[in-house]
Structure 1
Amino acid sequence: MGTDITYTYEIRQHGVWEAVKFLPPLDIDHVELEDAEWTAYTSHPACIDRNYRLFSVLAGVRNSFGIQSIASPRGLPVDASAESQKMTINYTRNPNWDFPNLTWVSLRELLDYDWDQWITDSRHEHEPPRLLREEVEPFTSKTLPYLQSLVSDRK
């Protein structure tokens, strides 16, 4: 069994955080999408697929790489949008889900992070070090530029 992350995007407008929906909602218990729909979903630049190196960066999840995470579990911000708060409550109350690393990161933290560090996997010490930037693709080449383009003109 693998580990996935649940995430939302928010943007601060007029001093208030608002949830932003980039991706179509998916019923994670009953996913019955056509191949074209699934491809459109997973190829969207805001989609974060299962990537343990990236999860290690974001919240220290599944970190066998010695990666310094951006945010140790710091919970949900008190001023998070009502939508994010509701989603968090719904997931954390579900007995089938475990949320040990509930946290948040800002776009500034993502942009300032050292993606050019070399990492190794303690489970595969015989393998040579790899560049983190390449190991978290397409996050650094698609997702970050996409998110930055959405706020680059905001002050």
Structure 2
Amino acid sequence: MGTDIHCFVERKMYRSSIYETDRSGKWISIDKWTKSEWAILYPERDEAPAWVVESNDMVFKDRNYDLFAILANIRNSENMPYISEPRGLPEDVSEEIRLQIKYGEYHSTTWFTANELLEFNWNQTFEYEDETMDGEKLIDSVNYMECGSAFLDVVGRLVGREEPSDLRIIITFDC
């Protein structure tokens, strides 16, 4: 059994009137939400949120253990340098995402703004000692940019013309 990644996306929205003084904004999910079949068929059970983001509709779902290690120290058997330990859910996460994670079988939830991800030093290589099946020692390496390129492409497309600090990726894992 392997570990999978689940990525949700939020954008910070602001009131736009020139008379507004509150610029704190509100995080909203910009994912593709679908009515939960489970919630429709079994409304008497409190076992699923009413709306879900299906795995196929998530912005990123590639299984890449080196990337998981870099993002949140998940499956990091070689002790690679990583961005941060899992932070949990942000206090101001959108309700839809909070409920899907609450009812899901996830672990090690974390989050990053697009700005944090884009500012991380992806131009590094991590070398470590490995061993072949015959016991022969060898030096292997992980190129951060190579293993993160598909994920960074998604982040770049999400940002587009947006302010990177106004986009947030909520990441959780399952086994």
Give the structure-2-normalised TM-score.
Answer: 0.63
Q: How does 1:39-50 map to 2 (within 5 A)?
A: 46-50=59-63
Secondary structure of the residue aligned to 1:105 is strand
Q: Do 2:6 and 2:61's aligned partners in 1 also have CA atoms closer than 8 Å?
A: no
Tell me which protein shows more helix as a share of its residues: 1
Deviation larger for 5-14 or 66-75 = 66-75
Give the aligned partner of residue 12 of structure 2: 12
**Equivalent pairs, count:** 131
Larger Rg: 2
TM-score normalized with structure 1 length = 0.70
Percent of pairs identical after alignment? Answer: 29
Listed one character per residue, the Cα deviations across residues 7-39 of structure 1 (whole Å, up to 9, x for unaligned) are: 2111110211101115x76x9xxxxxxxxxxxx
1:60 aligned partner, one-letter code: N
SS in 2 for 1:74: coil
Post-superposition CA distance 1:40-72 (Å, at most 9, x none): x59x9x323111111112211011343332231
| Pairwise CA distance, 1:130 | 3.5
What is the identity, as a one-letter code, of the residue corresponding to 1:6? H
Measure the CA separation in 1 of the matches of 2:103 and 2:10.
18
CA–CA distance in structure 2, aligned partners of residues 154 and 73 of structure 1? 19
Equivalent in the alignment of 1:151: 162
The structure whose residues are more often strand, as a share, is 2
Instruction: Kindly indicate whether the alpha-carbon contact (under 8 Å) linking 1:64 and 1:123 is maintained by their aligned counterparts in 2.
Output: no
Unaligned runs of 5+ in 1: 28-40, 92-96
Superposition RMSD in Å: 2.8
Secondary structure of 1:87's match? helix
For 1:121 and 1:105, the matched residues in 2 are separated by 27
- Does 2:138 correspond to 1:126? yes
Structure of higher RCO (CA pairs closer than 8 Å, 6+ residues apart) = 2
SS of equivalent to 1:137: helix
Q: Which amino acid aligns with 1:52?
A: Y
Equivalent AA in structure 1 for residue 70 of structure 2: V
C-alpha distance in 2 between matches for 1:76 and 1:139 = 20
